[in-house]
Amino acid sequence: MSIAPSPPSILSVRQLSCERDERLLFSGLDFDLYPGELLQLEGPNGVGKTSLMRLLAGFLPASGGRIYWQGKPVEGCWEEMHQALLFIGHLAGIKAELTPLENLHWFAALEGGQEEEDLEEALSRVGLAGFEDQPCQQLSAGQKRRVALARLLFTRRSLWLLDEPFTALDKQGVAAMEHLLVEHAQAGGTVILTSHHALEQLTGLRKIHLGAPQAGVKEAIHE
Amino acid sequence: MNKPAAAFCRLKQKPANLPGLFAVFKAALGREWRMQVRRRGDLVNPLVFFALVVVLFPLGISPTEDILAPVAPGVLWVAALLATLMSLDALFRPDLLDGSLEQQLVTGYPLAPLALAKLGVHWLLSSLPLILLSPFLGIMLYLPWEAQGVMMLALLLGSLALSLVGAIGAALTAGVGKSGVLMTLLVLPFYIPVLIFGTGAMQAAISGGSAMAHLSLLGALAALAITLAPWAIAAGLKIAVSGE
Amino acid sequence: MWKWLKTLYHRLGSPKWFYQITGSWLPWFAGAAVVFLGVGLVWGLAFAPADYQQGNSFRIIYIHVPAAFLAQSVYIMMAVAGVVLLVWKMKMADVVAQSLAPFGATMTFLALLTGAIWGVPTWGTWWMWDARLTSMLILFFLYLGVIALREALQPQEVAAKACALLAIVGVINIPIIKYSVDWWYTLHQPATFTLTEKPAMPASMWVPLLIMLLGFYALLGWSVILRARAEVLKREYKAGWVKELLQRK
């Protein structure tokens, strides 16, 4: 059952299961993700999409199964994996006390720094020109979201985990984001995202549907 | 928006160049400094609290020197303990609530140095002012002059241990909504050694003896806290994130 | 022996096995507790010689000393369970830790209570800031902290890990706290002699004490297994074997 994945996959999941608050969210999940792929996690609310994201990012322990990073069990190489990972969750991780520019400075510093003009350029491309030096607490929810998404314009990290990246974005913003994701995939990057949007524009989008767990699986885990 | 937002194009890519841990630590220090300096209320309130608690004692016991002077070391230390605890309560909770803590877990760098950067800035901005304020409150409690210097030195060493140990409690209770009392219950027992050696140092100085033994014990506590606490803080923060 | 222990460890790590195995252990622990506590109490209270200094009031050590001893060792056990949970991710370790905490807190309280009662004939007061009693009081707060943290945190996996970490931090701190309290006590001059610090006991005095200690340990085993079994059922209520078990009854 758990055959180690073939090397070119950057992220693989074998028989992964997740339990939260004594509720089995999903189990027996298998997939391989290759460079250049866009993967959308689908399913109704409460089915474990966000939990799967948090599991892949290393925030939650899996109840069963394994995750492989470039063919290696991820438990041994979280740091290596995180250096290639860009995670944007429900919470954007934007500091309200800091300005958009200062927020980006930190994320850029984690990757070796960026020129000030480049960060300003990134902000203006996401439509925040003129807001660079206002504390983020004065921005709207959509604008804060854009600050977080501006990271995607300059990051060198290849695997993007985006949990509901389109929340609070207007129509144009969604379209622009879709374009950005395709561009990243074409350059050999990989994206996993959750979204309730239809995402028709995304060519080559792969989907995984997280359905209701089968009864009796929980028992199988414990015995 | 006059420019079309559809221009979410990526910037020209530069070759990957991962910075060393020290560079990241320095960047974290700068970021923390900017953030914490801007939350002025969080910095000033524990100081006011410190002064207020000290002021309550003469009102509650007696304003006379021969009653206040002997209890001054204990009063000052208890007030400093509580003020430190108060200031630490909200150390990690905002980070947990706005997602920055999650981001700190996926930087690709160990969490402990990042938490230490935050704590270091916090110590500079809240414990150091408290130490500088303490002689004035000492005067109000008729603390003898020869004990003032020892008090500041003891607070300097002791506050390191207090910050580090308190941060463990702050990490563990980051996910609890209203944690003020819980945090106090968790952390205060661990503060007792610092209280004992801290007041001991001052009492030794007042009675004309040498405070060296107490001070070196406080130093040992601080050293122990610096070596062990960051790992416990990091572990606590990971637990807090897994609970969101 | 080692291999046997390893198998036992792995089996106990499974809630179902734990529940099945420990069911047969319960009467043994209960029986041992009754026998040891009964013999120890009768021997200690009725037959052991009176203390040359304190007379009959010293007999409270047959409860005070084992309670104080258990209070400390239960905290250490909790920290060990915490390490097992955090390092080897064995969930049963948390069930045990959760069952240990209230017992440890009760023992600490019992030690404090008997210490206070002992204080009346010895010091003429209900409370004395004696080094041992003070340490015991702080330990009591440490227990309350662990219990309160578990109450405050959700979900249960998070509470488990947080309590484990707190217990480990606590166990590193306990010797430091104890040392500092001893230092503080000697600095402020001991008023009279401290509890349990006395000339060598004759065998007729310490043998019943040892028996009482064994009885307390048996009581601990019984209480922890009883609580842990209930907790296993609570946590595994969805599992097939629990449903089966409930239907059979």
Whether B106 sits inside 8 A of A180 (CB atoms) is: no
| pLDDT for position B60 | 93
| pLDDT for position B6 | 47
Residue A213 has pLDDT above 80, yes or no: no
Domain count, chain B: 1
Cβ burial of B210 (10 Å; 0-12, 13-18, 19+) is exposed
Residue C76 · residue C139 · CB < 8 Å = no
Which among B185, B221, B228 has CB closest to C145?
B185
Q: Within a 10 A sphere around the Cβ of B219, how many other Cβ atoms? A: 18
pLDDT digits (tens, 9 = 90+) for A49-97: 999 999 999 999 888 899 999 989 998 899 999 999 999 998 889 999 9
Residues of chain B with pLDDT under 50: 1-6
Cα–Cα distance list, B187 to A205, B173, C138 (Å)? 51, 11, 11
| Amino acid (one-letter) located at B46 | P
pTM: 0.90
Whether C158 sits inside 8 A of B239 (CB atoms) is: yes
Buried b or exposed e, range B117-140, using 16+ CB within 10 angstroms: bbbbbbbebbbeebbebbbebbeb
| Angle (CA) C138 C139 C144, round 5° | 95
Which of B181, B182, B163 has its CA nearest to residue B172?
A: B182
Domain ranges of chain A: 11-99+158-209
ipTM: 0.88
Whether B107 sits inside 8 A of A82 (CB atoms) is: yes
Residue A124 has pLDDT above 70, yes or no: yes
**In this structure, which topology does domain A11-99+158-209 adopt according to CATH?**
Rossmann fold (3.40.50)
Cβ of C54 under 8 Å from any chain A Cβ? no
Residue B152 · residue B134 · CB < 8 Å = yes
Domain interval for residue B223: 20-242
What is the rounded CA–CA span in Å between residue B11 and residue A155? Answer: 9
Q: C-chain residues within 8 Å CB-CB of A223?
A: 14, 16, 241
Whether C152 sits inside 8 A of B188 (CB atoms) is: no
What is the rounded CA–CA span in Å between residue A100 and residue C102? Answer: 49
Tens digit of pLDDT at every position of chain C (249 positions) = 778 888 877 777 888 888 888 888 999 999 999 999 999 999 988 888 887 777 788 888 899 999 999 999 999 999 999 999 999 888 899 999 999 999 999 999 999 999 999 888 888 888 888 888 899 999 999 999 999 999 999 888 899 999 999 999 999 999 999 999 988 888 775 544 444 555 567 778 888 899 999 999 999 999 999 999 999 998 888 778 888 888 876
Q: Report the SS3 class of residue C232.
A: helix
| pLDDT for position A2 | 46
Residue of B nearest to A84 (CA): B108
| pLDDT for position C105 | 97
From B148's Cα to the closest Cα of chain A, the distance in A is: 37
| pLDDT for position B18 | 81
Looking at chain A, the whole-number percentage of residues with pLDDT higher than 90 is 33
- Tokens 């560079």 belong to B23
Which among A20, A61, A219 has CB closest to C240?
A219
Question: How many H helices and E strands in chain B?
Answer: 10, 0
Cβ of A218 under 8 Å from any chain C Cβ? yes
Q: At what angle do helices C61-88 and C91-123 cross, to 10 degrees?
A: 160
Whether C238 sits inside 8 A of A61 (CB atoms) is: no
Question: Considering chain A, what is the average pLDDT of its residues?
Answer: 84
pLDDT digits (tens, 9 = 90+) for A151-196: 999 898 999 999 988 888 888 888 888 889 988 998 889 999 998 7
Residue A101 structure tokens: 């520019």
Do β-strands A64-69 and A72-73 pair in parallel, antiparallel, or remain unpaired? Answer: antiparallel
Q: What is the maximum span of chain A, computed from C-alpha positions, in angstroms?
A: 60
Residue A193 · residue A219 · CB < 8 Å = no
Dihedral class, residue A65 (left if φ above 0, else alpha if ψ from -120 to 50, else beta): left
pLDDT digits (tens, 9 = 90+) for A7-16: 578 999 999 9
Residue A136 · residue A106 · CB < 8 Å = no
Residue A199 has pLDDT above 80, yes or no: no
Which of B14, B118, B122 has its CA nearest to residue A108?
A: B14
Residue A51 · residue A81 · CB < 8 Å = no
Q: What share of chain B is helix, strand, coil (3-state, %, to 5)?
A: 80, 0, 20
- Tokens 């946590």 belong to C235
| pLDDT for position C147 | 96
Residue B230 structure tokens: 């960051």
